Amino acid sequence: MPTASLRTLALPLMLLVAVPPGTLAAAADAADAAGAAVATSPPAIRVNQLGFLPGSAKLALVESVDGGRFEVLRDGDGSVARAGRLSPAAEWAPAGRRASVADLGALAAGRYRLRVDGVEAPEPFAVGPDAYAALSDAALKGFYFNRAGTALAPEHAGPYARAAGHPDTEVEIHPSAASPGRPAGSTISAPGGWYDAGDYNKYVVNSGITMHTLLAAWEDFPDFFRGRNIGIPESGNAVPDLLDEAWWNLRWILAMQDPADGGVYHKLTNLRFDGAVMPDAARERRYVVQKGTAATLDFAAVMAQAARVYAGFEPQFPGVAARMREAAEHAWRWAQAHPDAVYRQPDDVVTGAYGDQAFDDEFAWAAAELFVLTGDAGYLRAFDRHARDPDVPSWASVGALGWGALARHRERLPDDATRARVEAAIDALAARLASQARDSAWRIAMQPEDFVWGSSAQALNQALMLVQGYRLSGERTYLDAAQSQLDYVLGRNPLGVSFVTGHGARTPMRIHHCPSQADGIDAPVPGLLSGGPNPRQQDREECAPAGGYPSTLPALSWIDHDCSYASNEIAINWNAPLVYVAAAIQALTPAE
């Protein structure tokens, strides 16, 4: 969960123009710091810093130029591979800037550099057949680096090796979670799982959408993930690394269910956040806190989905699929009996709340997953009672996940009319997002209101739903719009930043992430997605000594400093769509 400030280091922010490749500043130039639109020379050229697949759509954005020509130069000899005209400039409200679009068109594999008005972009970009494979691998390995309850060995973690912390084998029942069989002060064992974000706590609700997204990536793109070796301890054990890594968290989630009644605890946590120390130095007492409807339904949905997936690996996980199905059905029954158990933060607990007040979306998602698993028509009727039109998913709005599950397994649906309804619902969302991207000066679907806590993940979840639409319809504009969302995250944004640590010419260096802050290594843990611009700036007071935010405009409200939990933290539910979208674009883009 995005946390309160762990520490503030009062270092001044450098201007982006002064930052060498591989490092990052919070502002592109002095005008940004004033929150003004940039209209300077030379032009700012924004491009996906990881590059493109040969068959992908390839767009660049050029600020402070109104139309004119561009050239794509071969990086080796400077010869012109392609030339074209920029689109007329248009203003993008979230950044308060005017920009023109360069459609780079068809390019063969190689390295290129963009030139506009005689000015070359500072870094080349690549075109190649595996443009995003390593990105998806690194984003998935980001979960390994956030494993709780285990040491990370040098042969798997390299310089980020660390001692084990938080065994969670003696976790206390908080008074809010007490039951006849588990009174307050008694203990349970709930080891494993992933640290949720920059902090060291574990939350079932946020694990819900995270697990779904990762398991959906397997269901949608098994050929991509089968046989990939990301360098975790389980690699090479006849189970795809994605599923081995997912199991590390699933086994913890299973332990969060009370076997006596089927209810699920909301979180496993300290009473307060740890400081910026390594896991083995964080030794506060740990608790499971309050059962709730949201956590229980998220659990039911995830376990139903996982039961389907792991049934295909029965020899490696004997009895696990059956156990997860039973747990899912038990949780569903508890939620039916407790349909409005809102999580309310106890007075003595100040860690992330992940509070939610409405549960129709959780009921719809869980019902859909259970229907696909069991074929029981009662679950489909429950979905119909609770479902609303799908929207871009987030941890608090999971209704679209149910629609996606039904679409993914539409052969299980009872008739053509139901299948058509499911397909039409997802297509309507994809069409809306593609239209927003087409009409945007920056060619992305993000609207000013989408720049929230975790806006990078909002962009990727929009891409995920565009991919869902493309998989159903084959409408190429959906795939191209999804590509454009990924481009934004990887550097084609007004800050000129790739928001993924270690992947791009300019990447976050001081993320709000306890291990990265405390390990003494200059570079942060790689493969983690920074939350991205957030104009609410909930940490502005903590970040004032570091120079503050460069702007109040939505797309510019980001700071590369570990003081910034509101814009530069990481979280598992943000990394999951990065895994999915990178794999999807890699797997779905036509070769030419």
Supply the residues annotated as catalytic.
199, 512, 560, 569
H or E element in which residue 111 lies: strand 110-116
Closest to 401 measured CA to CA, from 199, 588, 213: 213
505, 49 contact by CB (below 8 A): yes
DSSP secondary-structure letter at 52? Answer: B
Count of other CB atoms within 10 angstroms of residue 91: 12
Tokens coding 85: 């005209």
Distance separating alpha carbons of residues 362 and 264, to the nearest angstrom: 14
Q: What does the alpha-carbon distance between residue 369 and residue 326 come to, in Å, rounded to a whole number?
A: 13
Nearest Cα residue to 279 out of 156, 147, 392: 147
Quickly count: other Cβ atoms within 10 Å of residue 163's Cβ. 11
Total length of the chain: 592
DSSP assignment of 561-590: STT-TTTSB-BHHHHHHHHHHHHHHHHHS-
CA nearest 575: which of 529, 512, 526? 529
Phi-psi region of 296 (alpha: psi -120 to 50; beta: other; left: phi over 0): alpha
The answer to whether 60 and 43 are in contact (CB under 8 A) is no
> For residues 528-567, b (16+ Cβ closer than 10 Å) or e, as one string?
bbbbbbbbebbbbebbeebbbbbbebbbbbbbbbbbbbbb
CA distance 350 to 136: 34
Secondary structure tally for the chain: helices H, strands E = 17, 14
| H or E stretch covering 425 | helix 416-439
Q: Cβ distance 537 to 479 under 8 Å?
A: no
Cα(306)–Cα(215) distance, integer angstroms? 7
Coil, strand or helix: which one is 471?
A: helix
Helix axes 320-337, 360-374, angle to 10 degrees: 140
351, two tokens? 């860690």
CA 298, distance to chain mean position in Å, is 17
Sheet with 187-188: strands ordered across: 187-188, 171-173, 287-291, 265-269, 202-203
The torsion angles phi and psi of 403, rounded to 5 degrees, stand at: -60, -40
| CA 301, chain centre distance (Å) | 19
Other CB atoms within a 10 A radius of the CB of residue 587 amount to: 18
Query: In sequence order, which residues have a C-beta less than 8 Å from that of residue 474 and are 6 or more positions away?
Result: none
The DSSP element (H or E) to which 62 belongs, if any, is strand 59-63
